[in-house]
Amino acid sequence: MSIPVLDLHCDTADRLGWQTIDRELKTVSGDEFFTPDDAECPERYFSLKDNDCAISIDMAEGTPWAQCFATFVPDCFSPEQSLRFHAQIMAHISAQTNLNHAEATEVHAASDIRPALDQGRFACIHTIENARMFAHDLNLIEALKRAGVLMASLTWNAAGPLASGHDTHAGLTDLGRQAIAEMERCGMVLDVSHLNDECFDEVAALAKRPFVASHSNSRAVCGHVRNLTDQQFQVIRDGGGVVGLDAVVHAEQRLVQRFRHALRSIFAVAGAGKPENHIRIPSQWSISCWMISAVQPVKVFSRVCSILFCHCTLMERKRFVFRVPFNARQPSSAS
């Protein structure tokens, strides 16, 4: 039986939908296609069923697969332009999902995910990377949540109207703090990937619900400021959140090596907790329940599972799931 997968992040939504965005947005971005290479064979970067992007329905090969399709909003867009851009990208993913309704399910609420996986389907989850449109109107948070956006991050690399990425040391803006409170009220999960350390610390102090890092690695393994420190991993774990490791590489061997290194670091910092929320290894270490993000190519996923399984006992393998974090809950004292 295939292991269900929940991938917390990919850039496929933008790449597939880029050909559908309006001329003004293409002009502002300076890009006719998501990448220059896409112009050589644009028909391979349009269909959700079969494409040359990070993920397609066919790539999943029947594996029960829940995919977070992030609308990545470039820093060059204003909040108003960002809103229009997101609407056009989300509309394309929705249309493609509906076109492939025999295999795919468009997720509108967290409660849609588990039934889709149980039926062996490809579940499409709408998320946002760099939700700068919230600065245009904070009421958009509730409206987009109702439309099916389950998770959002506040920035990419630069300083934005809500928060800042690692290009600066700026903290959260007043609007950013208000956005966090509204996201928690509406049940939209906050994604802290790309936040700088200053913003992360503020989020940790403000958050009343679990938050996630959808695609971040260990700074102890790779010392880039974009990655999470051991302490940041612990903060996410202790709050009931999850981390999606970013495994975007181009060769299977590099993926396996990188993943082994990441496992050593994550096991070392994750600490202990409730057995049902952890993958344990035969020593004192365990890892807070998390997901693998952006495993590329998809065909090497079984290799990744094998690496994990060799660290688990038979009983613990029965608990090995890719947990859905979108039913945000108040962290308990035991978390």
Over residues 231-241, the mean pLDDT reads 89
Q: How far apart are the first and last CA of the chain?
A: 30
pLDDT tens, position by position, 200-220: 999 999 999 999 999 888 887
- Give the whole-angstrom CA distance, residue 184 versus residue 103: 32
pTM of the prediction?
Answer: 0.82
DSSP state of 55: -
pLDDT reading at 277 higher than 70: no
**119: helix, strand or coil:** coil
Over residues 256-273, the mean pLDDT reads 50
The CA-based angle 331-321-66, given to 5 degrees, is 95
- Give the whole-angstrom CA distance, residue 166 versus residue 281: 33
Residue 36's CB: how many other CB atoms inside 10 A?
A: 9
**Contact in structure between 241 and 228 (CB atoms under 8 Å):** no
Q: Which residue has the higher pLDDT, 98 or 264?
A: 98
pLDDT reading at 325 higher than 80: no
The residues with which 66 forms a beta bridge, in sequence order, are 6, 123
Contacts of 43 (CB under 8 A, 6+ apart): none
278-280 and 286-288: which strand pairing? antiparallel
DSSP state of 124: E
- pLDDT of amino acid 301: 53
**Contact in structure between 27 and 57 (CB atoms under 8 Å):** no
- pLDDT of amino acid 183: 98
> Using a CB cutoff of 8 Å and minimum separation of 24, what contacts does 224-227 make?
225/166, 225/196, 225/197, 226/166, 226/194
Q: How confident is the model at residue 243 (pLDDT cuts 50, 70, 90)?
A: confident
> Which position has the token pair 């688990």?
312
- pLDDT of amino acid 48: 98
pLDDT reading at 85 higher than 70: yes
DSSP state of 315: H
**Contact in structure between 230 and 269 (CB atoms under 8 Å):** yes
Residue type, 209: R
Over residues 121-145, the mean pLDDT reads 98
